[in-house]
Structure 1
Amino acid sequence: MILSTGPIENNPVSNVRPTQQLTIKIDNRDLVDTSSILIQGYYLIGTRTLYVLELISVDPNQVLTKNYYADFDAFEFVFTTSGLAEQQVQISVWGKDADGQLVSAHRLVASEQLGEA
């Protein structure tokens, strides 16, 4: 399954972008099977440029937290899930400012992401 945040605009306000860091929570709700997640992060400045490429394994009933740099005018993350538990994996994305506070405009829970089966 492929999930995407879609393009997220992060233009500066008073010379500071709202989101400096992106926190991604991955939750494998399957009690038996693992899942693999390919994480691709792009910054969008004139062109779509890959800057995060990571393949991770999520064990049964495991929750992982990943943090990525996101101080760009625009960015997008794409998650490709596979494995026996792929239908049981939920992913949420949380923008955070320089102080680590949540940026509500850049919060995406699993049901809000664009997906393709």
Structure 2
Amino acid sequence: MAVLSSGPIENNPVNGSRPTTQVLVKVINTSAASSATVLIQGYFLNGTRNLYVLEQVNVGANQVVTRNYFANLNAFEFVFTTSGTAAEDTQVSMWGRNAAGQLNTSHRLVSEEHLGAE
């Protein structure tokens, strides 16, 4: 089991709009035979840490799962907990998207960049 965190991400408006309004999460299981489970938790940060996303995703062998979450917030954090026989073969990436759906590279995190990643 691994617990990965994006850490707190500031998302204050710039020229009247936020850099990120949605978060795109991709979960990849590279195991040829085993499945994994990923618990996705999203937190709204406004002086306190408030849970607003809670989803458990089952990822089969050689499967890719994509999820989109609301992120039109001043600050947020995502935590990913992997478990199952393919937990070590499971990678998570997180991408911010602006209102037009374009990727926001400053809010991009891949597996090796998450806090807690080995």
TM-score range, shorter chain: over 0.9
Query: TM-score, structure 1 length as denominator?
Result: 0.97
Amino acid at match of 1:52: V
State the partner residue of 1:115: 116
Partner SS for 2:88: helix
1:40 matches 2:41: yes
| In 2, Cα distance between equivalents of 1:18 and 1:34 | 35
Percent identical residues: 55
The number of equivalent residue pairs is 117
Superposed counterparts of 1:1-117, under 5 Å:
1-115=2-116
Instruction: Note the C-alpha offset of 1:115.
Output: 1.2
TM-score (norm 2): 0.97
Deviations along 1:10-38, one digit per CA (max 9) or x if unpaired, are 01101211000000000000000000110
Deviation at 1:116, TM superposition (A): 6.1
The separation in 2 between residues aligned to 1:104 and 1:35, in whole angstroms, is 28
Which runs of 4 or more aligned residues in structure 1 lie more than 4 Å from their structure 2 counterparts after TM superposition?
none
Give the CA RMSD over aligned residues: 1.0
Which whole-Å deviations, capped at 9, do the CAs of 1:36-64 have from their partners, x for residues lacking one?
11000001011100000011100000001
Letter paired with 2:113: E
Q: Distance in 1 between matches of 2:47 and 2:115?
A: 22
